[in-house]
Amino acid sequence: MKTQAIILFIVSLVAVSCTPEDEVSLLVFNPLDYQRNDATILLSRSAIAKWTDIPTDLLPILKNEDGAYIPCQVDDVNGDGEWDELFALTNMGPSSQMTLLLTFISSEKFPSFDARTNLRLGANQPGYPELQNAKRLEGVAYHNYSGRTEAAFQMEGPAWESDMVGFRNYMDQRNGMDIFGKLTRAMVLDSVGVAGKQSYHDPDEWGMDVLKVGTSLGAGAIGYMLNDSIYRVGDNGSGSYDVQFEGSLRSRFNLSYQNWRVGETPLEVTHQIEIVAGRHCYQSVATFSGTDMHLALVPGIVNMKSDTLYVLNLNDYYTGFITHDYQAEDTTLLAMALIVPTGYLKTHGESRESGDGITQTYYAVLDAQPDQPVPYRFYALWEREDPRWASLKEVTDFLKTEADRWAQSVMFEIQP
């Protein structure tokens, strides 16, 4: 069960064929019996190399049957300066199939596709220069930060967005997660939180910050559980932000924590965060190392303005934890959800209402081992972005579909 649950955006490859020109022809299937917008196609360099020789200094790209390029990007995942994956999105009808041609093109001729994801960490300096790497502020926890984080960083830390929703992280020892509700499909966060602009806490044409986080885990921030006690990741030690890649269709970065102590034991934690076009969520992969203690990963949802947690088996592989209430800061309806692999799920719970440490949080408890990546997703569905999200049934039906998409990738076979 765990092996199935941890598969992230991996296509199922049955077979491929090569044309005389060493172009790879793929017949692509949608195995789900409903429309699949922005279906993910992910091809690794090693897989492509098995089908055809990879031309030097050329990049892979996909065309449809009409010869038009479908939205793609190539990503250097491991930071060695060479592309590792071809990532593409396409729309597919229920139980449909399509033929795609994998070919190669120079970087100069690679098309520019509409930007549908964005990362932003700006230094709070003239011009707000964008940072690809940064150290977080230390010794700046909870109510003692006194505006220092805001003075150091645009939006107090890294922000990330798709065309559907945005999020941000507090770049200090609070380490909370927040939500930007969006009313536009455009990328907007580069110009949010800058001098002369309206506060993002107030409604604007593009949207607003819709969540109050306090000392909760907010919108999917993490802790680890040891002996029934939950410890907020990053509430001591040091931390950093590092962009892995940024593209029009997906973007990814790491929040890393060094010398984070649980009791007297120092740990290293990596929280990888990815945002994909067309999605109302971000996807996390959390990994700890430095101890053989038995810990459990604890992602959470703030419950400051919600008194009901809905727990649903979304399908055979994923469980959803959902709140739905008038919990947006403009007093409108906001649904928040954690989707976690059922094979990792141990239990779930609720933190204390007040006091030290993590408060006002619903959380899931996920089995975790040293150096073992554990995935989960966090969704934010704001009724002002889409009126469907005013209905709990619409929210749960949507999340069931999302869980099916996560569990069942598109498939390929030989194109004669």
Secondary structure of the chain in HEC code, one letter for each residue: CHHHHCCCCCCEECCCEECCCCCEEEEEECCCCCCEEEEEEEEEHHHHHHHCCCCCCEEEEEECCCCCECCEEEECCCCCCCCCEEEEEEEECCCCEEEEEEEEEEHHHCCCCCCCEEEECEECCCCCCECCEEECCCCCCHHHCCCHHHHHEHHHCCEEEECCEEEEECCCCCCCEEEEEECCCCCCHHHCCCCCCCCCCCCCCCEEECCCCCCCCCEEEEEEEECCEEEECCCCCEEEEEEEEECCCEEEEEEEEEEEEECCEEEEEEEEEEEECCCCEEEEEEEEECCCCCEEEEEEEECCCCCCCEEEECCCCEEEEEEEECCCCCCCCEEEEEEEEHHHEEEEEECCCCCCCCCCEEEEEEEECCCCCEEEEEEEEECCCCHHHHCHHHHHHHHHHHHHHHHCCCEEEECC
pLDDT of residue 120: 98
Structure tokens at 375: 């995935």
Question: pTM for the full model?
Answer: 0.94
pLDDT in the model for residue 22: 67
One-letter amino acid at 110 equals F
Residue 33 in tokens? 């019996």
pLDDT score, position 147: 80
Nearest 5°: CA angle at 298, between 283 and 279? 20
Give the per-residue pLDDT at 143.
61
Cα 325 from chain centroid (whole Å): 23
Dihedral pair phi/psi, residue 235, rounded to 5°: -80, 0
Q: What is the pLDDT of residue 355?
A: 92
- Give me the residues of the chain with pLDDT under 70, please: 1-22, 140-146, 414-416
What CA–CA distance (Å, rounded) separates 404 from 144? 43
Task: Let me know: does 410 contact 100? Beta carbons within 8 Å.
Answer: no
Q: What's the CA angle centered on 118, arms 132 and 56, to 5 degrees?
A: 70
